[in-house]
Amino acid sequence: MSTQVELKAPVFLVAVPQLADTNFNRSVILLLDYKEDGAMGVVINRATELGLEEFCSSQEMRFQGNPDGFVYSGGPVQQDRAFLIHHSDHAGPETEAISGKTRLSYSLESLRIVSESPPERLRVFLGYAGWGPGQLAAEITSGAWLVTDFKDHILFETSVDSVWEVCLKEMGIEPMQLIHSGEVH
């Protein structure tokens, strides 16, 4: 029996405390694609210790922006692949609109363009979260994920450490009142 869940990306998936997978404990995922054959998104609240300057240098590029920026772990799949989420109209090939001014780029040429003239709003993710056909719908139906609207300010303005709590509070849920019962997978 197949589970049907109506979703239209972009949305945020907010992990419930019982989600047993350590890759997604208290994570918030920006769902970028949801189709019959699967889904993909990036975890937005897992900063790494890899700086943007160091990452760009490893790709033989020079990052011209804030040297304090860092790269995020977007998920456990293809952790050598970069995804850029930003506000820039000039980001090169393989760039698509997500919502409003927010764009997704995923080519080396786009990384080069963005690194030379970084927009104020920029996040770089290595890897992504992926689901096979029906898998995400089953996880949502089992209660592993809460779904809420994509909000630009949560992605770009909210500190990494408080993204999960802020998402829940904006949904009208007090994080401390969530029941920590049995695990969901």
The residue extents of the domains of the chain are 11-177
Is residue 5's pLDDT more than 90?
no
pTM: 0.91
**Residue 89: what pLDDT?**
82
Residue for token digits 């049907």? 4
Is residue 36's pLDDT more than 60?
yes
Give the contacts of 8 (CB within 8 A, at least 6 positions apart).
Answer: 34
Is residue 118's pLDDT more than 80?
yes
**Residue 126: what pLDDT?**
96
Tens digit of each residue's pLDDT (9 = 90 or more) over 40-79: 999 999 999 999 999 999 999 998 887 678 999 999 999 9
Superfamily of structural domain 11-177: VC0467-like (3.40.1740.10)
- Higher-pLDDT residue of 112 and 66 is 112
Helical (H) or strand (E) element with 69: none
Tens digit of each residue's pLDDT (9 = 90 or more) over 134-173: 999 999 999 999 999 999 999 999 999 999 999 999 999 9
Q: What are phi and psi of 158, to 5 degrees?
A: -90, 135
